[in-house]
Amino acid sequence: ANFSEQVVESFPSDISTGIYYGWACVGNGDVHKMVLSIGWNPFYKNIKKSVETHIIHTFKEDFYGEILSIVITGYIRPEKNFDSVEALISAIQEDIEEAKRQLDLPEHLKLKEDNFFHLPEGKIVNNH
Protein backbone atom coordinates (compact mmCIF):
# COMPACT_ATOMS: atom_id res chain seq x y z
CA ALA A 1 0.00 0.00 0.00
CA ASN A 2 1.67 3.19 -1.17
CA PHE A 3 0.95 6.62 0.22
CA SER A 4 0.18 9.45 -2.20
CA GLU A 5 2.83 12.07 -3.06
CA GLN A 6 0.91 14.58 -0.91
CA VAL A 7 1.15 12.31 2.16
CA VAL A 8 4.82 11.51 1.48
CA GLU A 9 5.61 15.23 1.28
CA SER A 10 3.92 15.75 4.66
CA PHE A 11 6.22 13.24 6.42
CA PRO A 12 8.83 14.93 8.63
CA SER A 13 11.77 15.91 6.41
CA ASP A 14 14.30 14.70 8.98
CA ILE A 15 13.01 11.11 9.10
CA SER A 16 15.76 8.79 7.86
CA THR A 17 15.19 6.70 4.77
CA GLY A 18 15.12 2.99 5.42
CA ILE A 19 12.98 0.12 6.56
CA TYR A 20 10.71 0.47 9.60
CA TYR A 21 8.09 -1.68 11.32
CA GLY A 22 4.87 -0.96 13.14
CA TRP A 23 1.11 -1.30 12.96
CA ALA A 24 -1.34 -0.58 10.14
CA CYS A 25 -5.10 -0.37 9.83
CA VAL A 26 -7.15 -0.07 6.64
CA GLY A 27 -10.33 1.94 7.11
CA ASN A 28 -11.97 0.83 10.35
CA GLY A 29 -10.65 -2.72 10.00
CA ASP A 30 -8.36 -4.77 12.19
CA VAL A 31 -4.85 -3.63 13.10
CA HIS A 32 -2.03 -5.69 11.52
CA LYS A 33 1.73 -5.85 11.67
CA MET A 34 3.49 -3.96 8.89
CA VAL A 35 6.88 -3.16 7.37
CA LEU A 36 7.39 0.31 5.89
CA SER A 37 9.93 1.49 3.33
CA ILE A 38 10.73 5.20 3.25
CA GLY A 39 13.01 6.38 0.46
CA TRP A 40 13.83 6.21 -3.21
CA ASN A 41 14.02 2.44 -3.71
CA PRO A 42 17.41 2.50 -5.46
CA PHE A 43 16.89 -0.91 -7.09
CA TYR A 44 14.01 0.59 -9.10
CA LYS A 45 15.79 3.95 -9.54
CA ASN A 46 12.81 5.97 -8.30
CA ILE A 47 13.19 9.72 -8.74
CA LYS A 48 10.55 10.59 -6.13
CA LYS A 49 10.66 9.64 -2.48
CA SER A 50 8.04 7.05 -1.61
CA VAL A 51 6.49 5.55 1.49
CA GLU A 52 5.40 1.98 0.86
CA THR A 53 3.60 -0.11 3.45
CA HIS A 54 3.63 -3.89 3.41
CA ILE A 55 0.84 -5.06 5.68
CA ILE A 56 1.59 -8.53 7.03
CA HIS A 57 -1.87 -9.90 6.32
CA THR A 58 -3.71 -11.37 3.35
CA PHE A 59 -6.76 -9.31 2.42
CA LYS A 60 -9.71 -10.86 0.61
CA GLU A 61 -10.06 -7.88 -1.72
CA ASP A 62 -8.32 -4.69 -2.83
CA PHE A 63 -8.63 -1.64 -0.62
CA TYR A 64 -7.90 1.17 -3.06
CA GLY A 65 -9.29 4.48 -1.83
CA GLU A 66 -9.46 3.40 1.82
CA ILE A 67 -7.70 5.36 4.54
CA LEU A 68 -4.49 3.69 5.72
CA SER A 69 -3.47 4.52 9.29
CA ILE A 70 -0.01 3.55 10.50
CA VAL A 71 2.06 3.76 13.66
CA ILE A 72 5.81 3.37 13.19
CA THR A 73 7.34 1.70 16.24
CA GLY A 74 10.88 0.83 15.18
CA TYR A 75 13.69 0.90 12.63
CA ILE A 76 15.16 -2.19 10.94
CA ARG A 77 17.85 -0.98 8.54
CA PRO A 78 18.91 1.75 6.12
CA GLU A 79 17.75 1.79 2.52
CA LYS A 80 20.16 0.06 0.14
CA ASN A 81 20.51 -1.15 -3.41
CA PHE A 82 20.53 -4.81 -4.44
CA ASP A 83 22.35 -6.74 -7.16
CA SER A 84 19.25 -8.71 -8.16
CA VAL A 85 15.52 -8.91 -7.64
CA GLU A 86 16.13 -12.19 -5.78
CA ALA A 87 18.41 -10.39 -3.28
CA LEU A 88 15.75 -7.69 -2.85
CA ILE A 89 13.04 -10.31 -2.21
CA SER A 90 15.29 -12.09 0.30
CA ALA A 91 15.92 -8.84 2.19
CA ILE A 92 12.18 -8.07 2.23
CA GLN A 93 11.48 -11.51 3.71
CA GLU A 94 14.15 -10.94 6.39
CA ASP A 95 12.64 -7.51 7.15
CA ILE A 96 9.19 -9.09 7.56
CA GLU A 97 10.54 -11.74 9.96
CA GLU A 98 12.36 -9.08 12.00
CA ALA A 99 9.20 -6.96 12.15
CA LYS A 100 7.15 -9.94 13.35
CA ARG A 101 9.69 -10.65 16.13
CA GLN A 102 9.86 -7.04 17.26
CA LEU A 103 6.11 -6.45 17.16
CA ASP A 104 5.51 -9.44 19.43
CA LEU A 105 7.47 -7.68 22.20
CA PRO A 106 5.20 -6.18 24.90
CA GLU A 107 6.39 -2.59 24.35
CA HIS A 108 5.31 -2.77 20.69
CA LEU A 109 2.32 -5.07 21.07
CA LYS A 110 0.54 -2.60 23.37
CA LEU A 111 0.49 0.00 20.56
CA LYS A 112 -1.73 -2.28 18.48
CA GLU A 113 -4.61 -1.35 20.79
CA ASP A 114 -3.92 2.40 20.75
CA ASN A 115 -6.97 4.66 20.43
CA PHE A 116 -5.38 6.14 17.30
CA PHE A 117 -6.75 3.14 15.39
CA HIS A 118 -10.25 3.45 16.86
CA LEU A 119 -11.47 6.85 15.77
CA PRO A 120 -15.19 7.59 15.70
CA GLU A 121 -16.86 7.08 12.32
CA GLY A 122 -16.41 10.02 9.98
CA LYS A 123 -13.82 11.79 12.10
CA ILE A 124 -11.35 13.77 10.00
CA VAL A 125 -7.73 13.71 11.12
CA ASN A 126 -5.04 15.99 9.67
CA ASN A 127 -7.42 17.06 6.87
CA HIS A 128 -7.88 13.42 5.76
CA distances from 32 to 25, 44, 55, 81, 99 (A): 6, 27, 7, 27, 11
Q: Is 52 a residue of the active site?
A: yes
Is the Cα torsion angle 91, 68, 105, 16 positive or negative in sign? Answer: positive
- Active-site annotation holder among 52, 61, 79, 113: 52
Query: What is the rounded CA–CA span in Å between residue 93 and residue 22?
Result: 16
Residues classed as catalytic: 52
